[in-house]
Structure 1
Amino acid sequence: MIFENKLEIQRLQTANELRQNGINPYPHFLRRDMDITKFKLKFSHIKDLDEQRAEPSQLVSLAGRIKLMRDAGKAVFANIEDESGNLQIYFSNKTLNPEWFAVVKKSVEVGDIVFVRGYAFVTRTGEFSMHVSELTLASKSISSLPEKYHGLVDIEIRYRQRYLDMIMNPEVRNDFKKRSIIVSTIRRFFEEKGFLEVETPMMHPIAGGANARPFVTYHNALGVNRYMRIAPELYLKRLIVGGFEAVYEMNRNFRNEGMDLTHNPEFTSIEFYWAYHTYHDLMGVTEDLLRTIIDRLGMEQIVEFDGTMIDFSKPFARISYKKALIEIGGLDPEIISDKDKILEKLRSDNYEANENLDLGHLQAELFDNYVEDKLINPTYIIDFPISISPLSRRSDKNPEIAERFELFIAGREIANGFNELNDPVDQYNRFVEQMKGKEKGGDDEAHEMDEDYVRALGYAMPPTAGEGIGIDRLVMLLTNKKSIRDVVLFPAMRPLKTETKESK
């Protein structure tokens, strides 16, 4: 049995006693008139009345969870809370039937959800409250809430039992409301620009669209492996080939990799593709989008994150990949173009150095270790090495450079965009090079060959630019949260010992 501690057993007994007395501890069809915040607004004027500060003629029904009870013998003060806010309620053996008052005092406890009906009044101490004339138990809580003054601070419990975290910490609910506003604003933004929202497969026959290890599952009816999608990119670009000119998808991706402050194995992103536009257009749209979201949240364009002020009001900086290595990373120009010198530099600073990596991937190691965490204000890094950009178009000026950017804010990658490679022969050859690198042991997250995607490009994809934005990291930034687990309702967690034993 799940409910085994002493207090839970006592509450189960209380629920059974109520049933034996003909009282259902889990009734239904209890309709409230309004939420607590609307109640406070509707009757806020009584605070200004000189004499009788009450509205006894206007009875209203509310519902909420009891967060606090103060027994004064023949009267009880309690605090109830719903999604909108909290309110003090008052009832006594005079406002309720005395026999029912005795049942309530014995059977209703902190954590229970109650339905109350009464009128607004102000107590002698000046607190706006409800004078309750009717109280019904709406749902009996078997598990006790944490003690009010210490609250729920254990981070493991907060993530594993998000429902309890939300009960005890209303600010957590507010953060996820902000997340919802961010998501809805993004949808509205792209719809107003003429983008079509689409849905593409979550299970792929080939792991592709990004460099990452996939989760593998098995389709019994087809008798084949399927890969939980790493990214929707290759399917969305098939739609561009098919004739759509502006599409987006906002949904989950899955990557079988480690978990840390910025990585969860399943995460939310938006990817959008825009025919007859360039990656420079995408950078402008992204700046516009972020400022629109900040306005929608009612925030200033200078946002605080982890004690640092980040300025969104100015045009975002743009700097080339190599220039960032030199000017921001402080690296010698002679090092960044010499594979052996890069390996020597990484090893001397105790960073991992894989000699099987090509020059572009080694430059990426330099970037990750010497540049990324220094990019605080919004900064576009542009013109990436082509070998780490297998789906990007080559620069006409320099074929070793990809027409690509990544947006960094507060030392984290927020967005990745580029002019799409639409030459089917070049794309095929890039896939081949990726597979060679994988076979050598240099890059075990490289793209697999996707012949159908190459075939799609063979029917001609118009000049297109595409971008992906990590929703979770964006929410982290705008809610001032340092861990991705704080902005994912139910983050991945290591199994408890009891769960591990049961699974065996």
Structure 2
Amino acid sequence: MSENMLEDMNELMLQRREKLSQLREEREKAFADKYEVTYHAAEVESNFEELEEKEVKLAGRLMAIRTHGKASFADLMDMSGKVQLYVKQNNIGEDRYEFFQDLDLGDLVGITGTVFKTNRGQVSIRVSSFELLTKSLRPLPEKFHGLKDKDIRYRQRYLDLIVNPDVKETFVIRSKIIKEMRRYLENKGFLEVETPMMHPIAGGATARPFVTHHNTLDMDLYLRIAPELYLKKLIVGGFEKVFEINRNFRNEGMSYKHNPEFTTMELYQAQADYHDMMELTENLVSHLAEEVLETKTLEYEGTELDFTAPWDRITMVEAVKKYADVDFSEFDTAEKAYEAAASVGVKPEEGLSYGEVLNEVFEIRVEDKLIQPTFIMDYPIEVSPLAQKIEDDPRFTYRFEAFVYGREIANAFSELNDPEEQKRRFEKQVEMREAGDEEAQMMDYDFIRALEYGMPPTGGLGIGIDRLIMLLTDSSSIRDVILFPTMRPESNE
């Protein structure tokens, strides 16, 4: 913000504080307790024939004031939208009209009046009385420039919501999507549960955790990176279908599709496999699009996306052959994998296995080409420590990820339920961790113990809700769909 703009801002704030002082001197309330509301702005508009010339009471924020001598028009905004006010000196008295003229944009008021249409046909409210509910001490952004600075918008979301109505609509849609997701899963027989947010062991995903400390127990705990292991313990305990919608926390890099805390839906179903999870995923997402947005075909950043089930299915090896023009099925050694990666301009770090190199080639050369909803199946065992291996080819697992517009939105397995094999996989992860991989998983002996009691064949699925909502609302950044995204602290200046 320029020096001149700062001076103007400071001057406007000073003027508003002077008005506040004057109100207090005159014993006028500047911060009211309550106001009875009978209608919202959108209801007045949509129910005009029923409400014409009837009294209504609304409360909201003044977003525009246009004075014409002894009469003024104003825009009142509430949660539902805007409605025009008609304020006339003859209707409210000279003193109150002068008071109204002295109000500022952003002030919160309660009004009583009758509904009518202007000569131009605009539904309006003829104000008979009003109250100042809250004095706004900071000016709103200038009308024609608005609030466009993304850093300010994300940091001061309250201001963003006031001056950018489409932002509010995005979060209304977000709420409807999550509500409908819950309803859909409950109708399918899933039970919603809650599992711990602080874990003694960081498990269930490959990620670097946040660490906190419990004073009474004198022990470090990890903010959860995934609820997976706890949810699978519930399957061991006899629940057959469970799901959880909640936050995960990962101490990783930030980008337009990564925020350190994010929302996921994770579910587990006994007597199911990853094919069942594919069917559930495509049907759930297409249902959400149709039910909430009334269409299965949406536009995202100018590209039309069709969420209609069924979605394309292709293995990782097939996808690398199709999009990167290199066939990993023709060899199975790490040496050959490195040669294949180099042939398409990918240079993995030293010491990786065949499967890890394949996965890196896929991430670099294939992911961004997966535009329409697509399931990538059969991931290497090295990057899937919790998934059931494919018996005919133990290099790979019954795992898939769902991609849309080059972004992963879902991850699912036929869950590994062999406790001895799971222990070996954990031991391999521990070796990787001791070698310096901070994202490798830890040994979880309690989870092994749970599997030793017997977990039925199980399908598991996780969906990144923030990324899904980005796609369904045509939002370019994950920060656009998180009300208060993680930000650096403001500078002292």
* TM-score tier after normalising by the smaller chain length: over 0.9
Per the alignment, residue 445 of structure 2 pairs with 451
**Aligned amino acid, residue 357 of structure 2:** L
Of 444, 448, 464, 2:458 maps to 464
- Cα gap change, 1:14 to 1:350, in 2 (>3 Å): farther
Matching of residues 192-207 of structure 1 within 5 Å: 192-207=187-202
Of 386, 392, 417, 2:387 maps to 392
How far apart are the structure 2 equivalents of 1:161 and 1:244? 43
**Aligned amino acid, residue 89 of structure 2:** N
Per the alignment, residue 49 of structure 1 pairs with none
Is the 2:338–2:348 Cα contact (8 Å) retained in structure 1?
Answer: yes
User: Quick check: 1:69 aligned with 2:65?
Assistant: yes
Following TM superposition, by how much is the alpha carbon of 1:41 offset from its aligned partner in structure 2, in angstroms? Answer: 2.1
User: Quick check: 1:26 aligned with 2:40?
Assistant: no
- Cα gap change, 1:431 to 1:326, in 2 (>3 Å): same
Of 414, 420, 423, 1:425 maps to 420
Per the alignment, residue 477 of structure 2 pairs with 483
How far apart are the structure 2 equivalents of 1:337 and 1:476? 38
Deviations 1:301-327 (A, max 9, x none): 111111111112242111111111111
**Aligned amino acid, residue 68 of structure 2:** A
SS of 1:273's partner is strand
**Aligned amino acid, residue 125 of structure 1:** R
Deviations 1:12-34 (A, max 9, x none): 12112112112111112211111
SS of 2:397's partner is strand
**Aligned amino acid, residue 126 of structure 1:** G
Q: What is the TM-score normalised by the length of structure 2?
A: 0.95
Per the alignment, residue 48 of structure 2 pairs with 43
Following TM superposition, by how much is the alpha carbon of 1:349 offset from its aligned partner in structure 2, in angstroms? Answer: 6.3
Following TM superposition, by how much is the alpha carbon of 1:44 offset from its aligned partner in structure 2, in angstroms? Answer: 4.2
Is the 2:320–2:362 Cα contact (8 Å) retained in structure 1?
Answer: yes
Q: State the superposition RMSD in angstroms.
A: 1.8
How far apart are the structure 2 equivalents of 1:332 and 1:160? 47
Of 204, 217, 231, 1:222 maps to 217
Of 279, 285, 308, 2:274 maps to 279
**Aligned amino acid, residue 358 of structure 2:** Q
Following TM superposition, by how much is the alpha carbon of 1:343 offset from its aligned partner in structure 2, in angstroms? Answer: 3.5
Is the 2:264–2:465 Cα contact (8 Å) retained in structure 1?
Answer: yes
How far apart are the structure 1 equivalents of 2:492 and 2:330? 52
How far apart are the structure 2 equivalents of 1:132 and 1:450? 67
Structure 1: 5+ residue stretches without partners: 47-53, 500-504
Q: What is the TM-score normalised by the length of structure 1?
A: 0.93
- Cα gap change, 1:484 to 1:171, in 2 (>3 Å): same
Of 325, 328, 332, 2:323 maps to 328
User: Quick check: 1:80 aligned with 2:108?
Assistant: no
Aligned residue pair count: 486
- Cα gap change, 1:203 to 1:314, in 2 (>3 Å): closer
Is the 1:343–1:354 Cα contact (8 Å) retained in structure 2?
Answer: no
**Aligned amino acid, residue 455 of structure 1:** R
Per the alignment, residue 3 of structure 2 pairs with none
SS of 1:328's partner is helix
- Cα gap change, 1:334 to 1:397, in 2 (>3 Å): closer
Is the 1:374–1:411 Cα contact (8 Å) retained in structure 2?
Answer: yes
**Aligned amino acid, residue 223 of structure 2:** M
User: Quick check: 1:244 aligned with 2:244?
Assistant: no
Following TM superposition, by how much is the alpha carbon of 1:481 offset from its aligned partner in structure 2, in angstroms? Answer: 1.0
Is the 1:408–1:415 Cα contact (8 Å) retained in structure 2?
Answer: yes
How far apart are the structure 2 equivalents of 1:376 and 1:117? 52
Following TM superposition, by how much is the alpha carbon of 1:440 offset from its aligned partner in structure 2, in angstroms? Answer: 3.0
Following TM superposition, by how much is the alpha carbon of 1:329 offset from its aligned partner in structure 2, in angstroms? Answer: 2.4
Give % identity. 47
Per the alignment, residue 143 of structure 1 pairs with 138
How far apart are the structure 2 equivalents of 1:4 and 1:131? 33
Following TM superposition, by how much is the alpha carbon of 1:374 offset from its aligned partner in structure 2, in angstroms? Answer: 0.6
